[in-house]
């Protein structure tokens, strides 16, 4: 699968490219193509050191959208609308939002946009025939990056497009030991996105790190 | 600990009394005391059959409030405000809300009251010196009742009263293999309460039953 990562030089995007480029062709995007090239070189080095396969190249965000069959929006919520507004060509692409709209006050809180969730906002902004999915919300950047540890947490996936959802669940399953769960239509995404601030609170109040979730 | 269960003859209340009465004095309340007596007799029978200890008696809801040091509100969200309005004497008591405001449409959705969560609504309704906690939200009634299986899921606990929170976390830890997590102040409760409809969706779309949550 050709996976374009918009915001691939951020913490989450970097971690994702380290994992996903082992089984997929990752096209790592950034606002500055040069930065993306540097990050993709680091990704290749890290994986080569470990004797793992890697397909990764750095480009600008628009090129990542153009080259990917699946586009992952690895950007903070605060930049989501402006970044999407600066890009085009999402028609018929599978677009994955791992974005969690949240704020830190005395504790972490879920602060959704009027649409109800980041994923539902993406759906409203992008063309109607973009195939919006929500996935990968609850995995901390450090866990993505800790290549010597398995990623063995649950990943709820939402979409109103069953084909797109199945494809994204396949990508989840191809990644370390991640467990893919069908969480239903995109209307369920607020309940998944609000899990991330909860996990950050659980980590903080129980002196844990990079807490993930499992279902049993 | 003396634990009063308001709504003790409902599905969740019955299940709770089967577990909690093994280590605590459960005062099981109902709108009709007779119904509570019948349920408490069933609880005693079930536990005796298994050779387990049991302290449980059935009374009306008001007597459960009066007799308990800790009061658990095992009532559906739709009856929460009216039930609390019909009761008194919550001053200085630890009051635990396991209530999840949700609806089933095409899927399960979190539908919080204006206060942000059921627990925050309880805080607004009850006297200022009631010691409100949120706990036990994500445990399905069937799991409470399945006495031949361990309860081995995570239980996030929220409160603005650290002493009350510690006491409730102790009750959680005393119950089967439940894992208590400090989820922070009551302001975090919306993110916990919305976990329950998410778990119901996960169960439904993945053909699972009575899904619980773990943190790792």
Judged by a CB distance cut-off of 8 A, whether residue B205 touches chain A is: yes
Query: Are B130 and B161 in contact, with CB atoms under 8 Å apart?
Result: no
Question: Which residues, other chains included, contact B104 with Cβ-Cβ below 8 Å and sequence gap of 6+?
Answer: none
Q: Are B54 and B79 a contacting pair, CB within 8 Å?
A: no
For residue B46, what is the enclosing H or E element? helix B33-49
Chain B: residue whose CA lies nearest to A143: B216
Instruction: Give the confidence band of B35 by pLDDT, cuts at 50, 70, 90.
Output: very high
CB contact under 8 A, A191 and B198: yes
pLDDT, residue B31, reads 97
What counts of helices (H) and strands (E) characterise chain B?
9, 11
B196 falls in which pLDDT band (50, 70, 90)? very high
Q: B185: part of which helix (H) or strand (E)?
A: none
Smallest Cβ distance to A215: which of B110, B182, B211?
B211
Q: What is the pLDDT of residue B95?
A: 98
- Residue A182 forms contact with B (CB below 8 Å): yes
**What pLDDT band is residue A47 in, cutting at 50, 70 and 90?**
very high
A132-153 tens-digit pLDDT: 999 999 999 999 999 999 999 9
Q: Which helix (H) or strand (E) holds A86?
A: none
pLDDT on residue B77: 98
Task: Answer positive or negative: Cα dihedral of B207, B209, B213, B216.
Answer: negative
pTM exceeds 0.90 for this model: yes
Is A107 in CB contact (< 8 Å) with chain B?
yes
- What pLDDT was estimated at residue B36? 98
Measured in angstroms, the CA of B57 and the nearest CA of chain A are apart by 32
**DSSP 3-state assignment of A158?**
strand
Predicted confidence at residue B125, as pLDDT, reads 98
pLDDT at B146: 97
User: Cα distance from B27 to chain A (closest Cα, Å)?
Assistant: 30
Q: Does A156 touch chain B (CB under 8 A)?
A: yes
The residue of A205, A208, A211 whose CB has the most chain B CBs within 10 angstroms, and thus the best one to mutate to test that interface, is A205
Q: What is the mean pLDDT of residues B188-213?
A: 98
Contact A216 B216 (CB under 8 A): no
**B192 vs A198: CB contact, 8 Å cut-off?**
yes
Strand-strand pairing, A131-134 and A154-159 = antiparallel
- Arithmetic mean of pLDDT over chain B: 98
CB contact under 8 A, A214 and B214: yes
Confirm or reject contact between A163 and chain B (CB < 8 A): no
Task: For residue range A54-99, list pLDDT tens digits in order.
Answer: 999 999 999 999 999 999 999 999 999 999 999 999 999 999 999 9
Q: CA-to-CA distance for B211 and B196, rounded, in angstroms?
A: 9
The mean pLDDT of B64-77, rounded to a whole number, is 98
Residue A2, beta-bridge partner list: A25
Give chain A positions within 8 Å (CB) of B197: 191
Enumerate the β-bridge partners of residue B159: B133
DSSP 8-state class, residue B191: H
Give residue B115's pLDDT: 98
Cβ contact (<8 Å) for A206 and B106?
no
The answer to whether the Cβ–Cβ distance between A211 and B215 falls below 8 Å is yes
Q: Measured between alpha carbons, how far is A55 from A52 in angstroms, rounded to an integer?
A: 10
- Summarised one tens digit per residue, pLDDT across range A179-191 is 999 999 999 999 9
Q: What is the C-alpha separation between A117 and A191, in angstroms, rounded? A: 9
How far is A61 from A65, CA to CA, in rounded Å?
6
Mutation site, B162, B201, B206, interface A, largest A CB count within 10 A = B201
Query: What whole-number distance in Å separates Cα of residue A177 and Cα of residue A19?
Result: 11
Asked if B59 is an interface residue toward chain A (Cβ–Cβ < 8 A), one would say no
Q: Do B191 and A194 touch (CB under 8 A)?
A: yes
A88-136 tens-digit pLDDT = 999 999 999 999 999 999 999 999 999 999 999 999 999 999 999 999 9
- How far off is chain B from A194, nearest CA to CA, in Å? 6
**Contact between A183 and B201 (Cβ < 8 Å):** yes
């Amino acid at each position: 699968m050709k996976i374009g990562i918009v915001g691939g030089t951020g913490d989450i995007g970097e971690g994702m490219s380290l994992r996903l480029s082992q089984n997929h062709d990752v096209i790592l995007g950034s606002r500055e193509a040069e930065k993306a090239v540097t990050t993709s070189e680091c990704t290749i080095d890290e994986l080569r050191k470990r004797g793992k396969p890697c397909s990764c190249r750095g480009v600008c965000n628009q090129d990542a959208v153009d080259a990917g069959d699946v586009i992952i929006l690895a950007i903070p919520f605060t930049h989501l609308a402006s970044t999407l507004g600066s890009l085009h060509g999402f028609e018929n692409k599978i677009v994955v939002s791992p974005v969690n709209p949240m704020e830190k006050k005395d504790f972490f809180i879920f602060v959704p946009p009027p649409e109800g969730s980041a994923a539902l906002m993406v759906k409203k902004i992008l063309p109607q025939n973009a195939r919006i999915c929500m996935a990968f919300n609850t995995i901390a950047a450090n866990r993505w990056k800790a290549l010597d540890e398995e990623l063995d947490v649950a990943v709820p996936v939402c979409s109103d497009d069953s084909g797109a959802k199945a494809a994204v669940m396949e990508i989840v399953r191809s990644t370390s030991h991640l467990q893919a769960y069908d969480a239903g239509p995109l209307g369920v995404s607020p309940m998944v996105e609000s899990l991330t601030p909860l996990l950050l609170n659980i980590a903080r109040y129980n002196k844990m790190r990079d807490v993930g979730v499992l279902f049993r």
